[in-house]
Structure 1
Amino acid sequence: MKGYWPRRMPFIIVFLQIIYVAAHTQPANPQTETSDVSSNGDSPPAALSAVQNERDHRGTEYSQGLVGEALSFLEPLEKGNSRYSSLKSSRFPSTAALYFLGELVSQLYFSAPPADQGTSDKGARGRDGGQTLSGPLANGVALLQESATYNDSDAIYLLAQMSFYGNFTYPKNLTESFQRYSQLASLTGNSSAQHMIGFMYATGVGGAVPRDPAKALLHHTFAAEAGHSKSEMTIAFRYQNGIGTSRNCDESVIYYKKVADKAIAWYRSDEPGGKAWVADSYSLADENGGVYGEGASASSAGINSPRGGGALDAHAALDDVLEYLDLMSGKGDFKATFSLGRIHYNGQKGLNRNMKAARKYFQAVVGQYWKRDGTKVETTDKPDIEKFACNAAGYLGRMYMRGEGVDINYDKALFWFRRGVTGGDAGSENGLGLMYLLGLKVSKDGIKAADLFRAAAEQDYAPAQVNLGKLHLDQGRTEDVQIARSYFELAARYGNIEAYYYLAEIANFGIGRDRSCGLAAAYYKTVCEKAEPLLSSFAEANEAYANGDRELALLDYMMTAEQGYEKGQANVAYLLDQENSILKLSTLSPISKPRSTLLENPDLALVYWTRSAKQSNIDSMVKMGDYYLNGIGSEPDMEKAAACYTAASEFHQSAQALYNLGWMHENGVGLIQDFHLAKRFYDEALETNDEAYFPVTLSLLKLRLRSAWNTLTHGRVNSIRYEPAPSKQWSLSEWINNFLEDDRLQYMDYEEEDLLHRNDPTHGADDGMYDDVIDDGVVESFIIIALAGALVWLIYYRQQRQLAHRQNNGAARDQRNQAGPVGGQQAQPDGGVFPRNGDPAFAQWVAGGVGH
């Protein structure tokens, strides 16, 4: 029953709003529209009046004083509503239900909304969006405007940011924002202003300026030359993909390398081991099971089905896992306790890192194996406790070495690392190796550090593989470079940012291999995108989206999309897509909020669906086909639609794409009308996703009727031809493999295992959590293989014995024939191993030799 009410709350709301509309519908009062702030009385705001007598002292100090005073009015307005505050998610499963109920209550007590609540994209009736400002906001804005008349760059920038983002509750006005950014750029060449101008020309967002890729590239170039990282990343992406300019891989690498150098320097600026953070980039569509909903989307079907999840239960898996682990931990399950520590240490979406809680759980695990004096617990009936205790010791050593949740203490770090090494923990070996390499409370010893790194790397521990690769790369010899590259490639499988950086450097400069511009650009791009806290606005976008501010979320996601983030591009397209809402509430309903004009841009949606699709997003490719098929954001183009569906269906990941191809073949839309091919694609859609059974079955029923009628009337369309299914001929090796194939039991479900490894900066080494299950499966498999091998050997041995026996009998018979009959006796022919048919002994042999 968990999640019952959250899933049904939207339908309850629909029922309640219908009742409300029937009883309380009233026309909106047009007289309630606000007036221009500049007409807020004939007298200026009080704060501005206080400085009217100081006009004789105009100058830099005067304008800066106005800015400082303005901020004293504005900063209190931002508290509790900061777009830069950390994103927090409720841990209660009824959050969604409470949200919808709150929306219902708030809407039932207010009159109908004005005709247009979207972002103002017109500089109408004053620079403040035609709305009356009052109180501290009016005072602060008036002071900033006064300071801006003296060309104070701080005041101009603040006004531009306020009108673009709506900071300090200021009404958004993209036209005013563009004017302010242009004013600042022309005055000082400010790189941030140039970046924002380039962004607005690139997207044409809000209609403030028309889209102009050439001007966008120009202003981004100005910003990039001044060292603006986001513009550098944007230009690199445009050169890499030929957006607004011709493709130029070398230019792309130049700009990507500039950003990657900053990213890796930022990563290394932390304590030993580099920075750790929770990734903020994720797909909004996945919260609803994908672009097409649960099961119909490639992101939640087939091999990706375990990752699917409904929007109303977005945190249900996390809550369930934590609750279960906490229960088992309370019963003394050290594995559950360790898992809780690791989850809190790594953090993830919906759960911030909690070093205090992590340390508590890790201490609890080591306490079940070591006493306070360092001696081991005398008796324990807990298998694998040593391995988990050593793993926990490795985490504790890392926390003390890096000062995570505790003060930096190299003595304690060394203590815990040495304990962990006794059990072969890879994290402890890597941590101890870093201490020897850097000389932290121990004498520097590169050889010992290398030995420790190698021991951890052999356990597939990514950070140790990087550290060992760096040591080999420093040697400079060709063979060492090859070894280093192999280690970096191994670590890159786990998303290690340093591994990607070194691979990019090797590919870019041709170290130990031929230079590869394309590979270098791809690796540098990955490095840049992994440094999310430094270079992206995903955190702010996620917060705005969680708070229901779709406009602000769109702007922030669009920033990341222009930088080349695929998830940012998919999120922008999803927000702009008019068909992504499963439950469309009537615009007459008081609970439905009118869609902002900023979100009405199908042309831009198609642009970002296309860019996301080019970065291997299958659902975006299918959506791109839908837009061409229905003429959304472009003229209808059936051939392009078919090409998109075909590309999305190549690897049989999208049942929706296969189904669409079947429909196009059935109806002859964009493809040749062919009922047989249509059936084939329908069948493949069902094979790709079992959940497509109902729509595919209905479509096949209709298709068979049409095909039968076409056959009876001798139509020109190729009808369905029924072909016998070929029988599968299994080889001996295939038969053995299928016989031995077995689904292994899991200690916990997919969601929990995914939570344990997600965002793990030390990911790569086996922690032994499933060794007991895996060992049982391996032993059983070896026993079966050994028995099968023994059987094969016995059969082979028997055949060889029979062959030798026949050969001996043949040789003896030849000798007797040459020697002639002895003693007047005739030589008897060889009867072989078994009596032949016709032999008097044959019947007795068939009967089993009864009587002998």
Structure 2
Amino acid sequence: MDQRFHEFLEESPIQKYFPDQADVDDQTLPEIRKVISENDAELAYALAEEHLFGMTYPKNVSWAVACYEHVATTTRNASANFMLGVIYGSGLFGQVEMDHSKALVHYTIASELGDRRATMALAYRFYAGIGTPRDYVRAMMYYRSVVEDLIPFLASDSDIGGQHLPDYKIRLSDAGGGLYGEGASLISSSYTNFEDLEDGSIASEHFSDSMRYYAQGLYSHSLEEAYNCFNTAMNSGTSHASDPLSLSDDPSVRVIGRCVAHLGHLYLRGEGCERNYTKAGDFLSAALNLVDDPSVVRRAAYDLGLLFKIDGVNSAEWLPPKEAVRAAFDNKFISNPDNPNSLDSSKVFFYMAQLAGNMEAIVELFPNWISMRDISPQVVRRGSNPYHWLTLAQYHEQNLDIANAAYLYKRIAESVEEETSPLKWTWYQFTRKIGRRYDLSLIGLTIAAEQGYESAQSSLGQLLLPIKSFFQDLEAECKETYLLALNYFSRAADQANYDAMLFLGDVYYKGVTITSDGTKIPPDYRKAGDMYHELLQRKECVQAYFNLGYMYELGRGFSQDFHLAKRFYDMADELGEKSDDPKNKAYFLLAFAKAKLWLKMHLGIHNWFEWVPKLMRSDDL
């Protein structure tokens, strides 16, 4: 795990920066009362910002609330109302009593005053039914208003292929390979997206820096550095590769292919280097010839399709493979495939890209979404151009499929993070080399969680109720912390975070120890079983199958049923593949449980002290 993440989790920053409010309320500042009594709204706002975002430790949120309330009631200040909505909506780690009604009022006022952040938070409350009945119509309306405000930015044709949008939606658990560790977690991580690289391989030391282009993980967004990193990785790899222009399963060659494709992408868009269509075509075509990797085809074929759409750009050296031309012809995307002079190469490349999983290529192949009735809203991917999905959202809205329309508008609005969320600022405070501010990172995560960003909700849940080891009991500072953690994990689970769903099941199954008074919140086996069943309805999971088998075997939460237990154990066995350490532990438990269940079903052995004499007498031995 990244040392910064480790320090952050071990430091218990919530208790450090946001202690029990009773410990700080007695230190009342006379200046606060004086400012409020003198009706100085400008100074009151400055004091509120200082007490919440300044260098004062520990934070006294009550003082900040008093100042914000004064500003909100005496002036039309959108920011003050927005921060009051955040504080009342989240409770800010127990600093104030959570009040969803007040949060809704302040978010509404801030939104009406033009605060885009508040509109996002308001939309999410209606979308998820937080403090108000779930209302997809209102959620769609608010998300759509945010998207409409962003259309001039999203529709800009200054960049070939659309706007480049950095991605700051990471989770604290990403640095460790996910909530349950590398290989055992269900949610993939952008931060640890180098599973095919071995430590010390030719390109691995450079390729991680290429994430600067996407600003994924904790890397800063620098197109010039991204260009240099891609170039260095390509050169260091190809100089050692025995046959770099052949198909290969060598991880280093696959990475080189990705670097070559990204360099072509940079030359096409003029990012980090001078725009050069000739170099773009050469690099993109070389990437397709270098390695048979779907991630390379998704990027390089799509970019070549865009390149061939540019007037005056054409080259016989970049023509698509003959088998791709024939396949595109067979599927009626092109006509007359045998004449290179009339070949629509862009359509062929877009066809190759969509076969490799590039959903943006569908927009180029089917510009009229109305004919694409079977396209699911779930095709909106991280990293895709959100402007492409606006037509699809409008299509669902026109056909009164309001839930899917709201989902699409939400995804589009959330993708423009630098315009709608504090995530960039949050991770800057976390990573800055001088004056690192973990306290501001916590506030930023809270704001993003209120706006509906699943990554922030998952991160806060982990901070409040961390998983310390595979077998260790769960512990929470106090009951309020436990309930707040469940709240964040539940919201993340509602947004398809399958690790959060599995963890909620584990929390209900194990129970939680409250460290402040030593009490134990008992297990709720029925809730645990229901959560595991709900997870399996949405995604297959070895651990969920195993847990349900164990519960049916022991009769915990359900009536004891050995046959159903065996079925779940068998399904876990069929689904899983042995990989790394966390999953191997589950497989050891699975083998042990299946052997134990066989003894119960066939020999009636329920007490392990009697298994030897019974086995000695058994003809089945």
Q: Given the two structures, how large is their TM-score scaled by the length of structure 2?
A: 0.69
2:448 corresponds, among 550, 554, 560, to 560
* Structure 2 contact 18–59 (Cα < 8 Å) conserved: no
Q: Residues of 1 paired with 2:262 and 2:177: CA distance?
A: 35
State the distance in 1 between where 2:523 and 2:472 align. Answer: 25
The alpha carbon displacement at 1:192 in A equals 1.6
Q: 1:254-653 counterparts in 2 under 5 A?
A: 254-268=141-155, 271-273=158-160, 274-299=162-187, 324-325=202-203, 345-346=213-214, 348-359=216-227, 383=245, 394-395=264-265, 397-400=267-270, 404-406=271-273, 413=276, 416=279, 426=301, 427=303, 429-431=305-307, 433=309, 454=347, 456-460=349-353, 465=361, 468=364, 472=367, 481-482=370-371, 495-508=384-397, 510=398, 514-543=399-428, 552-580=440-468, 601-630=481-510, 637-650=524-537, 653=540
Q: Deviations over 1:722-768 (max 9, x none)?
A: xxxxxxxxxxxxxxxxxxxxxxxxxxxxxxxxxxxxxxxxxxxxxxx
1:650 CA drift (Å) = 3.9
Q: Is the aligned partner of 1:173 residue 2:41?
A: no
CA shift, 1:215, in A, is 2.1
CA drift at 1:553: 3.7
Please give the alpha-carbon distance, in whole angstroms, between the structure 1 residues aligned to 2:159 and 2:17: 50
Q: Which residue of 1 aligns with 2:560?
A: 673
- Conserved in 2, the CA contact under 8 Å of 1:174 and 1:206? no
Distance 1:153 1:507 in 2: 45
Provide the rounded CA distance (Å) in 2 between the counterparts of 1:149 and 1:642.
Answer: 56
| Amino acid across the alignment from 1:669 | R
Q: Alignment RMSD, CA only? A: 5.0
CA shift in 2, pair 1:464/1:710, >3 Å: closer
**Contact 2:360/2:385, CA 8 A, preserved across alignment:** no
Q: Which runs of 5+ in 2 are unaligned?
A: 236-242, 248-256, 289-299, 314-340, 515-520, 579-583, 608-621
CA deviation vs aligned residue, 1:432-459 (integer Å, no higher than 9, x gap): 645789xxxxxxxxxx9x9675455334
8 Å CA contact retained: 2:179, 2:185:
yes
For residues 15-26 of structure 1, the aligned pairs below 5 Å read none
Structure 1 residue 240 and structure 2 residue 127: aligned? yes
Instruction: Classify 1:671/1:213 alpha carbon distance in 2 versus 1 (closer, same or farther; 3 Å).
Output: same
Asked if the contact 1:639–1:670 (Cα under 8 Å) also holds between the matched residues in 2, the reply is yes
Cα displacement (A) at 1:561:
1.9
8 Å contact from structure 1 (residues 230, 563) kept in 2: yes
After superposition, the Cα gap between the structure-2 partners of 1:320 and 1:544, relative to the gap in structure 1 and judged at 3 Å, is farther
Change in Cα spacing, 1:629 to 1:344, as seen in structure 2 (3 Å) is closer
AA of the residue aligned to 2:128? N
8 Å Cα contact 2:423/2:444 also seen in 1: yes
In 2, are the aligned partners of 1:574 and 1:605 still within 8 Å (CA)? yes
- Residue 590 of structure 2: aligned partner: 696
Residue by residue, what CA displacement relative to the aligned partner does 1:784-827 show, whole Å, maximum 9, x if unpaired?
A: xxxxxxxxxxxxxxxxxxxxxxxxxxxxxxxxxxxxxxxxxxxx
Q: 2:84 aligns with which of 197, 206, 212?
A: 197
How much has 1:288 moved relative to structure 2?
3.0
Supply the distance in 2 between the matched residues of 1:567 and 1:452 (Cα, whole angstroms): 39
What's the CA shift string for 1:648-690, capped at 9, x where partnerless? 2346633332232223223322100223333333343344434
- 1:581–1:542: structure 2 CA closer, same or farther, 3 Å change rule? farther
Q: One-letter code of the match for 1:519?
A: N
Comparing 572-581 and 194-203, the one that deviates more:
572-581
SS in 1 for 2:85: helix
For residue 500 of structure 1, report the CA deviation from its aligned partner: 1.9
For residue 325 of structure 1, what is the amino acid of its counterpart?
A: A
Using the alignment, how far apart are the partners of 2:282 and 2:193 within structure 1?
A: 36
How many residues of Structure 1 are paired with residues of Structure 2 in the alignment?
A: 527
User: Letter of the aligned partner of 1:615 in structure 2?
Assistant: Q
- Is the aligned partner of 1:660 residue 2:564? no
Find the counterpart in structure 2 of residue 80 from structure 1: none
Distance between the aligned counterparts of 1:579 and 1:363, measured in 2? Answer: 40
Assess if the C-alpha contact under 8 Å between 2:88 and 2:99 holds in 1: yes
- Superposed, which structure 2 residues align to 1:3-22 within 5 Å? none
Question: Which whole-Å CA distance do the structure 2 matches of 1:241 and 1:668 have between them?
Answer: 34
Larger radius of gyration: 1
Q: Which amino acid aligns with 1:605?
A: A
1:528 counterpart letter in structure 2: A
Letter in 2 for 1:430: L
Cα distance change on mapping 1:161 and 1:482 into 2, 3 Å: same
Superposed, 1:137-216 pairs within 5 Å as: 151-165=39-53, 167-169=54-56, 171-216=58-103
- Structure 2 equivalent of residue 772 of structure 1: none
Q: CA deviation at 1:644?
A: 0.8
Contact 1:145 1:155 in 2 (8 A): no
Q: State whether residues 178 and 208 of structure 1, in contact with CA within 8 Å, keep that contact through their aligned partners in structure 2.
A: no
Tell me how far 1:354 sits from its aligned partner: 4.3
Indicate the residue corresponding to 1:251 in structure 2.
138
Q: CA deviation at 1:562?
A: 1.8
1:616 partner amino acid: A
Shift, 1:393, TM fit: 7.6
Q: Secondary structure at the match of 1:168?
A: coil
Question: Is the 1:463–1:496 Cα contact (8 Å) retained in structure 2?
Answer: no
Aligned partner letter, 2:203: L
Aligned to 1:745: none
Deviation at 1:254, TM superposition (A): 0.5
Percent of pairs with identical residues: 26
Q: 1:224 to 1:268 in 2, by over 3 A?
A: same
- 1:207, distance to aligned residue in structure 2 (A): 3.2
Output the CA distance in 1 between the equivalents of 2:363 and 2:539. Answer: 39
Q: SS in structure 1 opposite 2:134?
A: coil
Indicate how the Cα distance of structure 1 residues 203 and 390 shifts in structure 2: closer, same or farther if over 3 A, else same. Answer: closer
Relative to the length of structure 1, the TM-score reads 0.52
- Contact 2:359/2:379 (<8 A) preserved: no
Opposite residue 176 of structure 1, the aligned amino acid is: W
Deviation at 1:186, TM superposition (A): 0.8
| CA–CA distance in structure 2, aligned partners of residues 641 and 672 of structure 1 | 14
Q: 1:539 to 1:584 in 2, by over 3 A?
A: farther
Aligned to 2:319: none
Structure 1 distance, partners of 2:349, 2:527, is 51
Deviation, structure 1 residue 527: 0.4
CA contact (8 A) 2:163 2:385 kept: no
| Cα distance, 1:194 vs structure 2 | 1.2
Q: Say if 1:627 and 1:366 are closer, same or farther in 2 by CA, change over 3 A.
A: closer
* Aligned 1:224-235 pairs, distance under 5 A: 224-235=111-122
Is the CA contact (8 Å cut-off) linking 2:167 and 2:215 kept in structure 1?
Answer: no
CA shift, 1:346, in A, is 4.6
* 1:164 aligned partner, one-letter code: L
> How far is the alpha carbon of 1:577 from its aligned partner?
0.9
Contact 1:469 1:487 in 2 (8 A): no
**C-alpha distance in structure 1 between counterparts of 2:387 and 2:407, whole Å:** 14
Question: What is the identity, as a one-letter code, of the residue corresponding to 1:506?
Answer: Y
Letter of the 2:167 partner, please give it.
A
* Matched residue type, 1:625: G
The alpha carbon displacement at 1:601 in A equals 1.0
